[in-house]
Amino acid sequence: MDLEMNLNAPHSMGTTIIGVTYNGGVVLGADSRTSTGMYVANRASDKITQLTDNVYVCRSGSAADSQIVSDYVRYFLHQHTIQLGQSATSKVAANLIRLLSYNNKTMLETGLIVGGWDKYEGGKIYAIPLGGTLIEQPFAIGGSGSSYLYGFFDQAWKEGMTKDEAEQLVVKAVSLAIARDGASGGVVRTVIINSEGVARNFYPGDKLQLWHEELEPQNSLLDLLNSS
Amino acid sequence: MAADMGAFGFHSPSSSLFFSCFVLEVCCFKRPGSYGSTLRYKSVERMKPIGKHSLLGASGEISDFQEILRYLDELILYDNMWDDGNSLGPKEVHNYLTRVMYNRRNKFNPLWNSLVLGGVKKGQKYLGTVSMIGVNFEDNHVATGFGNHLARPILRQEWHENLSFEDGVRLLEKCMRVLLYRDRSAVNKLQIAKITEVGVTISQPYSLKTYWEFSAFENPAQGAIGSW
């Protein structure tokens, strides 16, 4: 019923997450809304989490489950890096995520997208959805907001984009999903990973493009009334 | 509520706010028609003038709200046909709606709405609300949905008897902005209506500016990688 807010519902990142490869690296993108039932518990969360210097993961689904899985993988990768004597590859990171997701599939509810750059394979994106399947893809979308993006990517995705084209595609896509998915919202965060390193970007909600039936934001109705 | 989704069309579990100012009433409605978590229709009219003196706003099932408008059309028509110089005021319309909602509840077939009814007749302001189970009351400020939890505390602090129209609008916008940040079913499009002795005016739809530029929002996981 209307009045039941269920503030004790588990924190879930309804979410829109995206990972896209381009000519030289990867771009990861996500919205920033974390909800507890219908309440937005955090409107500026960071869903793109570091695993190593060159590998990041986009988290969706249960906030708790995705955090604990990424924490374990970060821990294992740290040890692996020491033993290996060099940076871990994105494939190893993705497989560790897969092992945890698959072997605990009855208990976990989290969909993850791993993206990174290493010297052997360059930029790679791996999707690990709910059951623990591992699938390497040129681009991946996930979270509740991704439902609204399948058609968009079918049309807009191209092989061999430049870094700026890829980032703009990701920001546009997350922004479109935010417009239609109640469980996604806030700001658009992107992380670009390539041979030169990692760059983080932040696009606040009011700086994004306006879509169908969205209006130019105003300070107040009074401004509109006074100007007409 | 989720279990009923199959039987119902679309829903706007979103918030509305009403309060009375010095000689008039101001009220505010967000305009989404959601379908589950999809923000399906972003320009649904959820406020309508009733007769000469009142304004009705609703949250919940849009088809039920449209049915209620049909009932009220008939009520006002019959009232006009008496041609006796009298006209139904907000108090009377509110009472009628209460009866309708309560009787449907008793038949275990409720109209799935939270209604807010405001108006001015013969200089007297009136503001009342009816829920889907027939709970009804009057107050200086009322709200539906999340508005009850997020907006009314603000109104309790800042509403007072002698608010001007401009202050009223600013107060409403303050509340609506909070709802926009924190209510998952909210959309950035609203209308404000003003009811005075002369009649009802509903503003054009417009959007509010939002603020995302807190430094803490830019890199929230900096001190604790893997957190949100």
Which of A9-23, B47-61, B122-136, B150-164 shows the lowest mean pLDDT across its residues? A9-23
pLDDT interval class at B225 (50, 70, 90):
confident
Is B190 a residue whose pLDDT tops 50? yes
Measure in Å the smallest separation between the Cα of B142 and chain A Cα atoms.
Answer: 14
Grouping H, G, I as helix, E, B as strand and the rest as coil, residue B189 is coil
Mean pLDDT check: name the lowest of A121-125, B1-5, B66-70.
B1-5
Q: Is the separation of the CB atoms in A188 and A176 below 8 Å?
A: no
Would you please indicate which residues of A are annotated as catalytic (active-site) residues?
15
Residue B166 covered by a domain: yes
CATH code for the domain in which residue B198 is found: 3.60.20.10
CA distances from A59 to A97, A205, B132, B182 (A): 11, 20, 38, 21
Look at residue B226 and tell me if it is in a domain: no
Chain B residue with minimum CA distance to A181: B38
Q: For residue A117, which phi and psi values (nearest 5 degrees)?
A: -130, 130
From residue B2, give the alpha-carbon distance in Å to each of A144, A213, B60, B215: 16, 27, 13, 38
Distance of CA B57 to CAs B166, B172, B227, Å?
21, 15, 41
A75–B contact, CB cutoff 8 A: no
Which helix (H) or strand (E) is A154 found in, with range? helix A150-156
Distance CA B131, CA B114 (A): 5
A8: in domain:
no
Tokens 């919940």, located at residue: B60
Residue B121 lies in a domain: yes
Average pLDDT over residues B151-175: 92
Strands (E), A63-215: 110-118, 122-128, 135-137, 139-142, 188-194, 197-203
C-alpha torsion sign, points A23, A129, A31, A117: negative
Ranges of residues in chain A whose predicted pLDDT is under 50: 1-3
User: For residue A13, what pLDDT is reported?
Assistant: 61
Cross-chain residue pair A221–B173, CB shorter than 8 Å:
yes
Position A12 in a domain? no
pLDDT of residue B5 exceeding 70: no
The residue that leads in pLDDT, A7 or B223, is: B223
Q: Does A172 touch chain B (CB under 8 A)?
A: no
The torsion of the CA quartet A126, A130, A133, A134, rounded to 10 degrees, works out to 10
- Give the mean model confidence (pLDDT) for residues B153-162: 92
Minimum mean pLDDT range among A173-182, B10-19, B26-35, B92-101: B10-19
Taking an 8 Å cut-off on Cβ atoms, the answer to whether A44 and B148 are in contact is no
Mean pLDDT of B197-217: 92
Structure-model confidence comparison of residues B205 and B2, the more confident one:
B205
Nearest CA distance, A143 vs chain B (angstrom):
13
Determine contact, residues A69/A97, Cβ cutoff 8 Å.
yes
CA pair distance B90, A221, nearest whole angstrom: 26
Min Cα distance B124 → chain A (Å) is 25
Report whether B12 contacts B59 (CB < 8 A).
Answer: yes
What is the SS3 assignment for A113? strand
DSSP secondary structure letter of residue B147: H
| Mean pLDDT confidence for B97-115 | 97
B74 belongs to a structural domain:
yes
- CA angle at residue A163 from A159 to A164, to 5 degrees? 110
The answer as to whether A219 is a domain residue is yes
pLDDT at B89 over 50: yes
Q: The tokens of B23 are what?
A: 């000689």
Structural domain contains residue A82: yes
Band of residue B58 on the pLDDT scale cut at 50, 70, 90: very high
* Residue A111 domain boundaries: 18-226
Tell me if A77 is assigned to some domain: yes
- What is the mean predicted confidence (pLDDT) over B129-151? 93
Q: Does B42 touch chain A (CB under 8 A)?
A: yes
Q: What's the rounded Cα separation, in Å, for the pair B54 and B119?
A: 4
- The answer to whether position B227 is within a domain reads no
DSSP category for residue A46 = -
Q: Supply B213's token pair.
A: 């530029």
ipTM rounded to 2 decimals: 0.80
Total number of domains constituting chain B:
1
User: What integer is the mean pLDDT of B138-164?
Assistant: 91
- pTM, rounded to two decimals: 0.85
Torsion of CA A78, A84, A90, A94, to 10 degrees: -70
pLDDT in tens, A108-147: 999 999 999 999 999 999 999 999 999 999 999 999 999 9
Q: Is A157 exposed, middle or buried (0-12, 13-18, 19+ CB in 10 A)?
A: middle
Q: What span, in angstroms and rounded, lies between the C-alpha atoms of A31 and A18? A: 9
Chain B closest CA to A37's CA: distance in Å?
9
Predicted local distance difference test score (pLDDT) of residue B182 = 94
Residue showing tokens 């209604």: B115
Distances, alpha carbon A198 to alpha carbons A115, A191, B4, B188, in Å = 11, 7, 47, 33
- Whether B225 is covered by a domain: the verdict is no
CA distance A66 to B7: 34
> Does B70 reside within a domain?
yes
Return the pLDDT at B1. Answer: 30
Q: How many CB pairs under 8 A join A and B?
A: 138
The pLDDT value given to residue A7: 66
Residue A8, CA distances (Å) to A4, A36, A37, A181, B37 in order: 11, 7, 8, 22, 19
CATH number, position A44: 3.60.20.10
Q: Which residues of A touch B220 (CB under 8 A)?
A: 44-46
Q: Which of A214-223, B33-42, B44-53, B82-91 has the lowest mean pLDDT?
A: B33-42
Q: Specify the DSSP class assigned to residue A181.
A: B
Q: What is the pLDDT of residue B7?
A: 36
Residue among A43, A71, A204 minimizing CB distance to B226: A71
Domain that holds residue B157: 16-218
Three-state secondary structure call for residue A4:
coil
Q: Which amino acid is at B17?
A: L
CA distances from A183 to A105, A188, A203, B161 (A): 23, 14, 18, 38
> Which residues in chain A are contacts of B207 at CB distance < 8 A?
214-218
Secondary structure class of B42 (helix, strand, coil): coil
**Quick one: pLDDT at residue B18?**
62
Residue B22: pLDDT band by 50, 70, 90 thresholds? Answer: very low
Average pLDDT over residues B147-160: 92
In chain A, the number of structural domains is: 1
